[in-house]
Structure 1
Amino acid sequence: MGAPLWFVSIAALLAFSAADVLDDCQLVGGDKKSAGEQAVLAKLAPLKGKRFEAKTKEGSDDYKYSFVVCGRLSNDSKSTNEGLVQSKEGSTDTSVIGRINDTHIISGTDWILLIYGSGDKYDTHCNSEARKAMVMISCSKKTLGGDFTVVQEERNKSRECFYLFEMDSSLACPPEESHLSVGSILLIVFAVLVAVYIVGGFLYQRFVVGAKGMEQFPNITFWQELGNLMADGCDFVCRSRPRTSDTAYRGVGDDQLAEEPEERDDHLLPM
């Protein structure tokens, strides 16, 4: 005997509801999805499923906001794909601010704007439209994800109201590019060649030639002679006085011992 019709209907309804529950953000765009949005969404993959909370005070009431990046806050069968929820402290009242099955995403140089739509409808504000959550993820290289805060709730308009939040993440930072100049590349190549020359020459001299001590340095004679030549050249170019110079003191020489001319004093004699 087959199952009752009502049992089959309930089973089909539960199966449909379970299939409608998501575990990831669903981008909105009809049958065509933006490749740019998909790329940014893939960039947020390390944050997927992570939960963040923020608290704020309005008058005498305290509110808590719970947010999951591309994930549901509740994993049970009653989940309605809620991605960001507002709850009032001391009360069981909750409001779904945004759902992950209505996701929009925009990115800039150092920021990502994640938007959850299709939240619970306002009671009296904003012409009773559905709530919408906007999470501005700003670049911060210090954390993968953190500092989730409430910025404002804009509900004084007749339409397009929203909740605005901020969060820091290194995923919003632009990729760091390495810029090496031609000179830097040449210096690196030169340093590598010098290292290979020294290490290779040392191993050859030690294990093949059998040299010991300073003789293990490759081409040690050449470099010693080169050093002497460089020292001589530096002395020749940079010396401050001639290599040979007359001294102020002159010793007694043969020229000084020569016989002095005879002085005649005939003019002193009386005539």
Structure 2
Amino acid sequence: MSDEAAPGYVRIRLDLSYDGSDFHGWAKQAGGKRTVQGEIEDALRTVTRSGGTTYELTVAGRTDAGVHARGQVAHVDLPEAVWREHHEKLLKRLAGRLPKDVRVWALREAPSGFNARFSAVWRRYAYRVTDNPGGVDPLLRNHVLWHDWPLDVDAMNEAARALLGEHDFAAYCKKREGATTIRTLQQLSLVRGDDGIITATVRADAFCHNMVRSLIGALLFVGDGHRPADWPGKVLAAGVRDSAVHVVRPHGLTLEQVGYPADELLAARSREARNRRSLPGTSGCETC
């Protein structure tokens, strides 16, 4: 996965959003399941009249089935001739070809060294939940989780503070062979809005599989009084999956924004992200 397009190609950055309700996640899958990547690549192939050629996308964050995105970023390498021929009308043509639950908002040539995945310095997610005894507003049912116990946001924020910083989040991740679970959690905070919806903002350099939904599951147990505020930190320190930590449902989760450094630092950031990383006294493995 190069940080530069091959000779004769140009790297294009895409900014996009989607409602994940009817998708089986971002990444293409065998068996014809509907995915965001598959829809965009099919549309791109059609509007560029590329026949059997598929231009493969690289994405900043591979969201799971049911997870939404407002600020997703991807890149694709297109032949220079294709980009010259189509770029002025490509955005509008994609809007006409893509289904209504996914939209590309911007297409532009990426700066040198840009890699949508490895150049990113942080990803910011929001998880939305309500404890309204009447349930979720029907207009928000695909984007807000209903929790049927009253939630103490102050207790949840107290618990969240113990999770900040660089840690091995093995207790909150679904382990994948050859992938590290060491992450730097930069922000984890919760605010109750005037509408009663609690929004958890979660930002990290990267996330391992199920990490955000597991963290929220632990905080909900604190918020409804089933666990004390120091419990999520103790689970983290134990370093193993706790059966009491539930992976909450995906529909409350939205990828809000992806952060990148200044253009001149993109290549260096990409190299850094590919390095093996570890905590003191542990062995590392390639970052995922």
When normalised by structure 2's length, the TM-score is 0.23
Q: Which gives a bigger RCO, structure 1 or 2 (Cα 8 Å, sep 6+)?
A: 2
Rg: which structure is higher?
A: 1
Give TM-score, length-normalised by structure 1: 0.25
